Amino acid sequence: MALVACPTASIGTTQHHDAHIGIDAFPSQVAENIYFCGFTSESSFGAWSYLIVRPQSEGGNVLVDSPRFATQLVRKIESMGGVSTMFLTHRDDVADHRRFAERFNCERVMHVDDGAARLGIERVLRGNDSIKLDHDLLAIPVPGHTRGHVVLLYRQKFLFTGDHLAWSPNRETLTAFRNACWYSWEEQTRSMEKLRDHDFEWVLPGHGRIHHDSPENMSANLERCIEWMKTR
C-alpha cells in the first residue's frame, strides 16, 4: 500500500510483489463511510485526501482534497458512486482537482482567499463565518496556514483539517505546524479557538496523524493545542 500511495514512486522492493494488492486496497476505510484515498500527489506534497460515501439522497459522495488522478483509483471511486462535491481545504492540496471535476462533473468548493476564482471553482466561499453546505456538512474558515484555509466538519463527528490541525504522537495531543505556516501564526491560533464551538471525534488531516477520541477528550486536547500555540 505504501509503494502504491507514494507520491514520488520512491519505494521499491528487493523481491517481486503484486502491486495490485496495494492498488485494490484504496480507497481504504477509516471508519463508517469515511475512506482514505491513497495515491497521494507530489504536487500536493504527499497530502492525504478522503472520500465521504453518501447516497445521492444525502447529497452524494464528497472528495476532500485531491489525490493523484490514477486510473485504478478513479475506477474504484466510480464503483462507489463517483463524486458529487469536491471540497478543497486550501491551495496546497488541490493536486489533480481539474481532472476529477471533469471526470465526475462535480461541484468544487473552496475559499476565495486561496485563489478559488483563479482555479475556476464552482462554489466560492467568502468571509470567516461558518457555512452550512448541506444538512451534514459544515465549512469552517480557519485562516492561518494559508489565508483561505477551511476545515470541513461532517455530522459533528469527522473533522477534515487539511494543514490546520493534526495529532502529534510525540506530544500525545493535537498540534499545528509552526514551521509550515504560510500566512499568519497569530491568525491560525485565533482560528483554532473557533473550533471550541464544535464537537468532533475524529481529526483527519492532510499531513500528520489521524486521531479518534471522545468529544470531551478532543476538546481537552484542543485546549492544550491552543495554549501551546500561544507560546510559540
CA quadruple 66, 145, 107, 158: dihedral sign: positive
Instruction: Give the number of domains in the chain.
Output: 1
Across 23-29, average pLDDT: 87
Sequence-ordered list of residues with C-beta below 8 angstroms from that of 199, at least 6 positions apart, any chain? 156, 157, 215, 218, 219
Q: Is residue 142 within 8 Å of 191, Cβ to Cβ?
A: yes
Can you point out the beta strands (E) in 10-129? 28-31, 34-36, 50-52, 62-64, 85-87, 107-111, 123-125
Q: Is residue 65 within 8 Å of 49, Cβ to Cβ?
A: yes
One-letter amino acid for residue 174 of the chain: L
> pLDDT tens digits, residue range 148-184?
999 999 999 999 999 999 999 999 999 999 999 999 9
For residues 61 and 76, give the distance between their C-alpha atoms in angstroms, rounded to a whole number.
Answer: 13
> pLDDT tens digits, residue range 175-215?
999 999 999 999 999 999 999 999 999 999 999 999 999 99
Global confidence as pTM: 0.92
pLDDT at 11: 65
Buried b (16+ CB within 10 A) or exposed e, 202-214: bbbbbbbebbbbe
> Of 46, 51, 37, whose CA–CA distance to 1 is shortest?
37
Q: What is the CATH number of the domain that holds 123?
A: 3.60.15.10
Q: Which domain holds residue 112?
A: 2-229
More confident residue, 35 or 42: 35
Across 224-230, average pLDDT: 98
Q: Is residue 12's pLDDT more than 70? A: no
Q: Is residue 232's pLDDT more than 60? A: yes
pLDDT at 18: 57
More confident residue, 119 or 18: 119
20-34, 45-59, 78-92: segment of lowest average pLDDT: 20-34
DSSP 8-state symbol, 179:
G
DSSP 8-state symbol, 106:
P
Q: Is residue 133's pLDDT more than 70? A: yes
